[in-house]
């Protein structure tokens, strides 16, 4: 947005934050042309009922005047109205635009001291030739810390996600310390990192269904209160097997992300979706920084309770207790939707309702991929030096996973039976392509999947590569999740502002690929500051990619946001499991190069196959826009 005139004040709207310039329409009787002219109507009264006004490039001053267009009807469909470069000065006037249609195209408005009443107004831009350019924004960023209405909900929800992330990653900064104390092999420590992510895969799908049925308030509160169970189990663990069980349970806590996605989507409009989801995800992901930076210091500062050793048990237990307390607070202080808004639920539960047969089979393949990741974990738990599962137990696990896949497929068929047998078709406004969901799953593998892998292995990587103390290594490794404070929101913000969510996603994903290929070359001969710089460079693109992905997810199909977000989110964990399995079998350079190449392939696919979502930058949902011409009332009192 260009520079603003001195003394410029934005118009205050209850929910929408934009004042828009409109395509003016077609009058019936008269035509007024003022191209390039200056009109001074101070103190006069103008009655232009039924007229069409063309004011391109002019300066129009109505100081102290009364301007009445009562009863005029303006049809805006298909029209273009350009006031580029013009200045409208309505100092001291009162403007009543009830039920009006408006669109602001690159103009400058000076409304010093004016009052604008836009109650009940809508923007009808269907079929019109327009460029939706933001002129006035009582900005989200400006009101972000008002802690009122939707901003309070946003803050409370990202804090809930923050606490689940602290719990989820409370093991990583103590991995080597716990390994020494409990006499764990390096392969066992790496396997625990995989276990930490594994059950999040099915949990995200289940949580997504519960979310769509019961709403985010109840779902998030219960998940936060559950977090105390795996935290205490980890704190009290005495051997590898107990740690495996506790970290598998902790994976359920990691599924909380999808709950907040739906909550934020209910409170913010599509034009702000990217930045709102970015703040929620980024500031929530900042919990990984809290875990890696603060928990080691807490453990050291309370070491006198543990006979001088790092008090990791207390630090891990405390995270679960705090999360459970906040779960009670969250339940009693938020609501699912703004007052008067209906919480939309899917018509059918048990599986995602798709809108084409091709999408159905794409969904089945997607479900198999998630089952495959769990099977991969079972295989890893049977390998030598691990031996958590015997060979027969591994086969039994695979059989159970096959049964789970068959059950998922049956529920998918049950929900979509009428579509599959040809009894039901969907109107164009109801359709979506699951192939687009699958592409977003891939982008989330390359962004969040890689982030999970790096956050899980980076403290030990710095400790061993540069021979550092675990507290120092943890603090250095915390630079990676630290960037979440700005990088994930910036991914959403860029997606909002760049006018193409598709190309934002493509460019950022390519950046992920390049940055991880750079990280491949980090070794003990590098200066530590340079290694940190490359790590932060990779962190920015990976986290911005998460924000860009979830600026698109809520726009696919609103009433099924929980299930779609659950599918996409689960593939982030799928990526983490696959990447950490590769790491457990190879080394860090191989991990970085694998993640880099996968991201470059994903960027190529986004460039050719990802589509721009409908209504990506709408001020309101498309379904809320009227299809008829509206009447405009302009008065000054």
Give Cα 159 to chain centroid, integer Å.
14
Characterize 359-388 residue by residue with b for buried, 16 or more Cβ atoms within 10 angstroms of its Cβ, and e for exposed. bbebbbebbebbbebbbbbbebbbeeebeb
What distance in Å separates the CA atoms of residue 483 and residue 257, rounded to the nearest whole number?
18
pLDDT at residue 617 in the model:
56
What distance in Å separates the CA atoms of residue 294 and residue 312, rounded to the nearest whole number?
12
What is the maximum span of the chain, computed from C-alpha positions, in angstroms? 92
Query: 240 by DSSP, 3-state: which?
Result: helix
Distances (CA, A) of 566 to 38, 219, 361, 414: 57, 13, 18, 20
Characterize 330-348 residue by residue with b for buried, 16 or more Cβ atoms within 10 angstroms of its Cβ, and e for exposed. beeebebbeeeeeeeebee
Helix (H) or strand (E) segment spanning residue 561: helix 561-585
pLDDT at residue 515 in the model:
96
> What are the helix and strand counts (H, E) for the chain?
24, 14
Which strands form 108-110's sheet, in the order they lie side by side? 38-40, 59-61, 87-89, 108-110
Which mean pLDDT values do the consecutive 10-residue runs of the chain (637 residues) have? 42 36 36 42 47 47 46 45 44 44 43 43 40 41 72 93 93 89 89 88 81 90 96 94 94 88 87 81 84 87 74 93 96 90 75 90 92 91 85 94 93 92 86 90 95 89 88 86 84 82 94 96 94 94 91 82 82 91 92 97 94 66 41 34
Pull the structure tokens for residue 455. 């956050």
pLDDT at residue 560 in the model:
77
What DSSP designation does 254 have? Answer: G
pTM of the model: 0.67
Pull the structure tokens for residue 365. 């393949």
Tracing tokens 């267009």 back to the chain, one arrives at 69
What DSSP designation does 498 have? Answer: S
pLDDT at residue 500 in the model:
85
Pull the structure tokens for residue 327. 């779960």
Strand partners, 39: 60
Distances (CA, A) of 437 to 203, 285, 369, 467: 18, 22, 14, 43
Helix (H) or strand (E) segment spanning residue 31: strand 31-33
Distances (CA, A) of 294 to 36, 225, 298, 302, 521: 63, 22, 6, 12, 29
pLDDT at residue 627 in the model:
38
């Amino acid at each position: 947005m260009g520079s603003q005139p001195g003394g410029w004040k934005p118009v205050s709207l209850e929910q929408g934050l934009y004042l828009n310039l409109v395509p003016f329409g077609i009058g019936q009787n008269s035509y007024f042309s003022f191209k390039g002219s200056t009109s001074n109507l101070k103190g006069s009264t103008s009655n232009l009922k039924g007229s069409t006004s063309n004011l391109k490039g002019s300066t129009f001053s109505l100081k102290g005047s009364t301007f009445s267009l009562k009863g005029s009807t303006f049809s805006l469909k298909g029209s273009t109205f350009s006031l580029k470069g013009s200045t409208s000065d309505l100092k001291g006037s009162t403007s009543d635009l009830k039920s009006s249609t408006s669109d602001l195209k690159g103009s400058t408005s000076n409304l010093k001291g004016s009052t604008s009443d836009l109650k009940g107004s809508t923007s009808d831009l269907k079929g019109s030739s327009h460029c939706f350019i933001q002129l006035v924004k009582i900005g989200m960023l400006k009101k972000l810390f008002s802690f009122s209405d939707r901003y309070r909900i946003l803050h409370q929800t990202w804090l809930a996600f923050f606490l689940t992330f602290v719990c989820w990653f409370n093991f990583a900064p103590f991995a080597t310390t716990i390994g020494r104390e409990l006499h764990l092999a390096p392969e066992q420590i790496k396997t625990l990192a995989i276990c930490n992510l594994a059950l999040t895969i099915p949990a995200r799908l289940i949580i997504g269904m519960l979310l769509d049925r019961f709403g985010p308030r109840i779902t998030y509160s219960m998940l936060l209160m559950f977090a105390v169970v795996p935290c205490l189990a980890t704190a009290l663990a005495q051997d590898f097997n107990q740690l495996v069980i506790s970290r598998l349970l902790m994976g359920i806590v990691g599924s909380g992300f999808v709950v907040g996605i739906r909550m934020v989507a209910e409170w913010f409009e599509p034009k702000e979706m990217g930045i709102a989801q970015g703040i929620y995800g980024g500031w929530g992901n900042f919990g990984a920084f809290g875990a890696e930076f603060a928990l080691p210091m807490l453990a050291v500062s309370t070491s006198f309770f543990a006979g001088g050793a790092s008090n990791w048990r207390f630090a891990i237990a405390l995270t679960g207790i705090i999360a459970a307390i906040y779960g009670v607070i969250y339940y009693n202080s938020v609501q699912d939707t703004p007052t008067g808004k209906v919480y939309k639920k899917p018509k059918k539960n048990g599986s995602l309702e798709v809108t084409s047969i091709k999408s159905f089979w794409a969904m089945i393949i997607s479900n198999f991929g998630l089952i495959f990741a769990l099977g991969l974990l079972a295989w890893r738990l049977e390998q030598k030096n691990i031996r958590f599962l015997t060979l027969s137990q591994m086969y039994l696990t695979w059989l159970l996973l096959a049964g789970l896949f068959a059950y998922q497929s049956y529920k998918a068929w049950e929900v979509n039976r009428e579509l599959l047998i040809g009894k039901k078709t969907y109107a164009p406004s109801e359709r979506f392509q699951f192939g687009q969901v699958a592409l977003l799953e891939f982008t989330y593998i390359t962004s969040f999947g890689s982030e999970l892998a790096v956050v899980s292995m980076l403290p030990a990587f710095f400790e061993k590569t540069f021979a550092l103390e675990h507290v120092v290594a943890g603090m250095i490794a915390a630079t990676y999740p630290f960037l979440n404070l700005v990088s994930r929101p910036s991914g959403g913000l860029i997606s909002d502002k760049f006018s193409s969510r598709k190309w934002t996603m493509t460019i950022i994903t390519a950046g992920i690929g390049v940055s991880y290929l750079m990280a491949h070359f980090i070794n003990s001969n590098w200066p530590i500051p340079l290694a940190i710089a490359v790590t932060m460079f990779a962190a920015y693109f990976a986290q911005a990619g998460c924000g860009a992905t979830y600026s698109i997810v809520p726009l696919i199909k609103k009433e099924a946001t929980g299930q779609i977000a659950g599918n996409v989110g689960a593939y982030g964990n799928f990526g983490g499991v696959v990447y950490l399995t590769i790491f457990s079998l190879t080394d860090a350079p191989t991990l970085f190069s694998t993640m880099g190449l996968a991201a470059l392939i994903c960027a190529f696919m986004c460039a050719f196959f990802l589509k721009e979502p409908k209504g990506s930058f709408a001020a309101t949902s498309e379904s809320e826009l009227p299809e008829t011409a509206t009447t405009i009332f302009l008065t000054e009192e």
